Amino acid sequence: MSVRRNPNIAPLVFFLCGIVVIGSLYQLIKTNERNRVRLETGITAGQVGLRLEAWIDSRTALVEHLGDGQFTDAADVELNFRHRARTFVDLYPGIQAMNFIDRQWIIRQVVPAETNAPALNQDLHSHPSAGVPLSLKKAE
C-alpha cells in the first residue's frame, strides 16, 4: 500500500509559515518602536529636567545674591539700585523688569527704563492683579 502525498499542502504550509514570520517581524518592529519612543522620551524628559533645574538655580542664586546684604542701609538701596539692577538685567535677559518700590508701595525706579516707563510712579495698592498687594503686604 502506498501513501499518496497531497501536492496542495506544501504551498499552504509555506504560506502559513510566511504569515507567522511576517507577523513575528511586525510584532518585533512594533516592540522596538515602542522601546525607542520610551527611551527618547526618557532622555528628553531628563534634559528638560536638567535645563529647568539650571534655570531655577540661576534665578535662586540671583535672589540670594540680591539679599546677601550688599546694601548698607535704605538710602544706599535707593542710591545704587539702578546700577545694580541694570547689572542683573544684563546678566539675565529673561528678566522683564526690576522696580524700586518705596515704603508707600509706589514704583520710583524701573530697570530697564525704556520698556517699563509706564510703571513709574504707579501705586501698587491698586495693581490689577490682587496677588501683588497681597505679596507686598506679606513681604512687609
Q: In 3-state terms, what secondary structure has residue 111?
A: strand
- DSSP sequence for 15-74: HHHHHHHHHHHHHHHHHHHHHHHHHHHHHHHHHHHHHHHHHHHHHHHHHHHHTSS---SH
pLDDT confidence tier of residue 5, bands split at 50, 70 and 90: low
pLDDT for 45 equals 96
pLDDT for 83 equals 83
What average pLDDT score do residues 101-108 get? 88
Q: What global pTM score does this model have?
A: 0.52
Q: Which of 58-62, 79-83, 101-105 has the highest mean pLDDT?
A: 101-105
Mean pLDDT of the chain: 85
Residue 128 in grid coordinates: 490689577
pLDDT for 53 equals 94
pLDDT for 121 equals 92
pLDDT single digits (tens) 25-56 = 999 999 999 999 999 999 999 999 999 999 89
Decide which of 113 and 5 is more confident: 113
Counting other chains too, the contacts that 81-88 makes at CB distance below 8 Å and 24 or more residues apart are 81/109, 81/111, 82/109, 82/111, 85/109, 85/111, 86/111, 86/112, 88/62
Q: Which of 1-15, 62-76, 91-105, 121-135 has the highest mean pLDDT?
A: 121-135
Any idea which residue has 522601546 for its cell? 35
Whole-angstrom distance, CA of residue 109 vs CA of residue 119: 9
Contact 124, 106 (CB under 8 A): yes
Whole-angstrom distance, CA of residue 33 vs CA of residue 75: 64
